[in-house]
Amino acid sequence: MRHFIALTCCVVGCVSASAGGSASRPSTLPIVELTRADGHLEPLQVALAGSMTVIDLWATWCTACEQERPKLERLSAAYGARGLRVIGLNIGESADVVRAYLGEKRVSYPIYLDPDFRLADALGEKRLPTILVVEPNGRIVHRAASLDAETLALIKSKLSLDP
Upper half-sphere CA count for residue 88 (Cβ side, 13 Å): 29
- Euclidean distance between CA atoms 34 and 156, whole angstroms: 27
- Minimum distance, C-beta of residue 45 to other proteins, in the bound complex (Å): 25
Judged by beta carbon, residue 51 or residue 58, the one nearer other proteins is 58
Nearest by Cα to 107 from 159, 65, 50, 142: 65
Helices (H), 41-148: 44-48, 63-79, 95-105, 118-123
Judged by beta carbon, residue 30 or residue 50, the one nearer other proteins is 30
- Minimum distance, C-beta of residue 57 to other proteins, in the bound complex (Å): 9
Q: Which residues bind other proteins (CB under 8 A)?
A: 1, 4-5, 8, 11-12, 15-16, 18-22, 59-68, 70-71, 74-75, 78, 92-94, 96-98, 100-101, 104-105, 115-117, 121, 126-129, 144-150, 152-153
Q: Residues with Cβ < 8 Å from 131, sequence gap 6 or more?
A: 54, 55, 56, 57, 68, 142, 143, 144, 145, 146, 147, 151
- Minimum distance, C-beta of residue 40 to other proteins, in the bound complex (Å): 21
Judged by beta carbon, residue 9 or residue 31, the one nearer other proteins is 9
Judged by beta carbon, residue 104 or residue 163, the one nearer other proteins is 104
Judged by beta carbon, residue 45 or residue 122, the one nearer other proteins is 122
- Minimum distance, C-beta of residue 58 to other proteins, in the bound complex (Å): 9
Q: Is 150 in contact with 141 (CB distance < 8 Å)?
A: no
Q: Is 29 in contact with 53 (CB distance < 8 Å)?
A: no
- Minimum distance, C-beta of residue 152 to other proteins, in the bound complex (Å): 6
Element (H, E) at 144: strand 140-144
